[in-house]
Structure 1
């Protein structure tokens, strides 16, 4: 005989399906990040491997917890539901622990990154790995320099070159003095700097991350409530459903007196 309310069991099953879908999306994001960050010559991006592994593990754990909850509801297993409840409590605390500091740090990211990158200017004197990264950004985003083309001084690389006929509206003509022949030359380069474009994607990443973290926190809190109710039903299977009723102290009191009617005479 079923001990868990059927409607509650179906609701919990739908919840775990959504939870499993979120885990699959996280794994998909990890695959996408792996493809996007696999830039030629930059396979050893700092923190890339650790971040990808964390995404894969987190997505896999999310799907496993969803399967555990669905199994516990289907079999009405108290042990599985208690394990699911513990996972939801831990998950809620972890999501809040990660999401709140990230939300606080987001407005400061641009100023911190700007100050750090300005320490490497000019780019033609920067380390070779930073120059390679800048060239990759310029080729991918069609920009030149981090904050301006003057970041390269007069050694503007080929990755800044822009074809006015192919990329109309994205180019600008500049004059610079050639170091070899010592005469002014005109060159067409990308008009936009790379830093604003780069910050757009970084802040977008932070927004997506915050959305995922707080969505998972809400789902974990909802799973905590649903699993707690089901565990309660399994623990007290014969207890009737409690309905709200008006307390007896507020029941209408009988009248203090009643009007007496004399029977009609015969």
Structure 2
């Protein structure tokens, strides 16, 4: 069996450890996202469930591939390294296939989502699912309406109303409304929900694109390292060249030194 460079084996092992850490972080972030969002079922949750399943799959596959690469480097197994190389090629192509369209489509995301949310206005005439979604956003993000409190027209829900502490902190604005033929004031959150929602959505999208391209770069690096190791395994164990000096270049004494002067000279 060929001898793989020790320094290269160490670098490759460190790479696989880092690769495994990346897979573990992806799984932990997916678990955290699942806990924070809370999966309660329903048709509106199908897209979220699919996304979480994909993230779980990516994290587990990353851990498995890292294990195969570490085993191949430790045992100098050509078969394991070839499997790792094939996975790196497929992974880099898949990440580029996902990342490039996402990066290209990012500038149009805000306009598409804005058109989607504007179709839900007015909120007081929307479906119960849309009202529940808006109430949830308003309660957790301290906002009112998607684009303005006027999205609710004259039926502003309790999730828009501020408490005394929030009024003192300047998060609210006073609006007038009619109640039993009397004009009264109500303090509601001054910020609309859509800009805040769009900020967090774009932040998550940018993080996702960054993760995709980072995985693509790692896959290309792993592909390079594994290719070098496989190439070294194809070489003979010893690459040392033994140089021999031809006899014509030996430093034997010249012939005239073998002659001895006779006595008397």
Taking structure 1 as the reference length, the TM-score comes to 0.86
Distance 1:171 1:39 in 2: 32
After TM superposition, the structure 1 = structure 2 runs for residues 111-122 of structure 1, keeping only pairs within 5 Å, are: 111-122=111-122
Q: CA separation of 1:43/1:26 partners in 2, compared to 1, >3 Å: closer, same or farther?
A: farther
Is the contact made by 2:85 and 2:222 (CA closer than 8 Å) also made in structure 1?
yes
Per the TM alignment, residue 218 of structure 1 is displaced from its structure 2 partner at its CA by 0.3
Q: What is the root-mean-square deviation of aligned Cα atoms in Å? A: 1.8
Equivalent in the alignment of 2:243: none
Q: Deviations along 1:158-177, whole A, 9 cap, x unmatched?
A: 00011243451101111122
Distance 2:109 2:90 in 1: 28
Distance 2:55 2:225 in 1: 26
Distance 2:79 2:71 in 1: 11
Aligned pair count reads 239
Distance 2:195 2:121 in 1: 16
Runs (4+) of structure 1 exceeding 2 A deviation are 39-44, 164-167, 237-241
After TM superposition, the structure 1 = structure 2 runs for residues 18-167 of structure 1, keeping only pairs within 5 Å, are: 18-38=18-38, 45-167=45-167
Q: Deviations along 1:24-69, whole A, 9 cap, x unmatched?
A: 1110111111012217787952412111111111100000000000
Q: Deviations along 1:179-201, whole A, 9 cap, x unmatched?
A: xx233220000010000110111
Q: Deviations along 1:194-249, whole A, 9 cap, x unmatched?
A: 001101110011111011000000000000000000000011134639xxxxxxxx
Q: Which moved more, 1:160-169 or 1:74-83?
A: 160-169
The structure with the larger Rg is 2
Per the TM alignment, residue 9 of structure 1 is displaced from its structure 2 partner at its CA by 0.3
Distance 1:73 1:221 in 2: 17
Equivalent in the alignment of 2:256: none
Distance 2:41 2:97 in 1: 36
Structure 2 portions without partners, runs of 5+: 241-265
Is the contact made by 2:2 and 2:237 (CA closer than 8 Å) also made in structure 1?
no
Distance 2:100 2:110 in 1: 18
Distance 2:40 2:185 in 1: 31
Distance 2:183 2:144 in 1: 20
| Greater helix fraction, Structure 1 or Structure 2 | 2
Distance 1:147 1:114 in 2: 9
Distance 1:174 1:39 in 2: 36
After TM superposition, the structure 1 = structure 2 runs for residues 98-247 of structure 1, keeping only pairs within 5 Å, are: 98-167=98-167, 168-178=169-179, 181-238=180-237, 240=239
| Structure of greater relative contact order (alpha carbons < 8 Å, 6+ residues apart) | 2
